[in-house]
Amino acid sequence: MRVRATKGIAVAATGLLAGAFGYGAVNLGPTFWEVPLDMRLTFHAELMKMNSPVMLSAMAVAGVSSLALTLQTRGRERALAAAATLLVGTSFLVTRFGNVPINARIKVWATTSAPADYAEILHRWDLFNRTRTSTALIAFVLLVITAVAPLQDRRESGSAPS
């Protein structure tokens, strides 16, 4: 029963993480390139005020629950959960050492002015964002597989699901 609860938390947390990153990559990112730079910088700086604690919390819950699932399972489920844990960890590291430093610069630019190479820096932010979105999405898919595949295996072997 504890494993089922852990799976539920891990799937939900990584799904929320991937969904939030995905929304940003698919909707916000392209929109940022279409609005005037000062609007983008102001909005980005304000968005990060709320986004930072929310996304940090989502990453923490996704990472801890994926790790807990790794420790509670065996075989293929353990391998998938461990891979998901590493991918969530990668999302965190990319965010912390890629996006966050650029966010700090954007915050300054919003109140002053952007440097001459701002477009290159913003493209780098987009690359980091696509990377963390991809790693979170793959982690989510792996955890969905751990949650769904065992039920299919039991049904095919004639055993009742627990």
pLDDT digit string, tens, across residues 32-86: 999 999 999 999 999 999 898 999 999 999 999 999 999 999 999 999 999 999 9
Rounded-to-integer distance, Cα 150 and Cα 53, Å? 34
Rounded-to-integer distance, Cα 147 and Cα 15, Å? 13
Write the CB contacts of 14 (distance below 8 Å, at least 6 apart in sequence): 62, 65, 66, 84, 88, 136, 139, 140, 143
Distances (CA, A) of 149 to 110, 123, 143, 153: 48, 38, 10, 6
Position 142 scores a pLDDT of 98
pLDDT digit string, tens, across residues 104-156: 999 999 999 999 999 999 999 999 999 999 999 999 999 999 999 865 554 45
**Phi/psi of residue 73, nearest 5 degrees:** -115, 175
